[in-house]
Amino acid sequence: MINVIASITVKEGRKSDFLKIFKANVPAVRKEKGCIEYFPSLDLKTGIPVQELNPRNVTIIEKWESLEALKAHLKTPHMLDYKEKVKDIVESVSLKVLEEA
């Protein structure tokens, strides 16, 4: 199994726009072969001292059956369309692709 954590920083005042576009794409992604889990998350203020908070950040949590499934996901028409729709909203993306230790 492959775990993915995508950290997306959106431009000031655009988080709700981003989430609307992202959530509209989620059903198509969840139907993809090999998709186990796929959802957006927002920072939760907890008061834990080491926690990093960024109000413009959206973290995407993903689980895929294989690296091949993840790579196929990135090439799907709905993902290419999503990337085009958010290109002027997204400021930066950081991606971690992980396997179980």
Would you place residue 33 in the very low, low, confident or very high pLDDT band (cuts 50, 70, 90)?
very high
DSSP code of residue 31:
T
Determine the pLDDT at residue 3: 98
Write down all domains in the chain, each with its CATH number in brackets.
2-43+54-99 (3.30.70.100)
Would you place residue 69 in the very low, low, confident or very high pLDDT band (cuts 50, 70, 90)?
very high
Determine the pLDDT at residue 63: 98
Residue 74 CA to residue 25 CA, distance in Å, equals 13
DSSP code of residue 81:
H
Determine the pLDDT at residue 37: 98
In the chain, the DSSP E strands lie at 2-10, 35-42, 57-64, 90-99
Q: How far is residue 22 from each of residues 46, 93, 95, measured CA to CA in Å?
A: 25, 14, 16
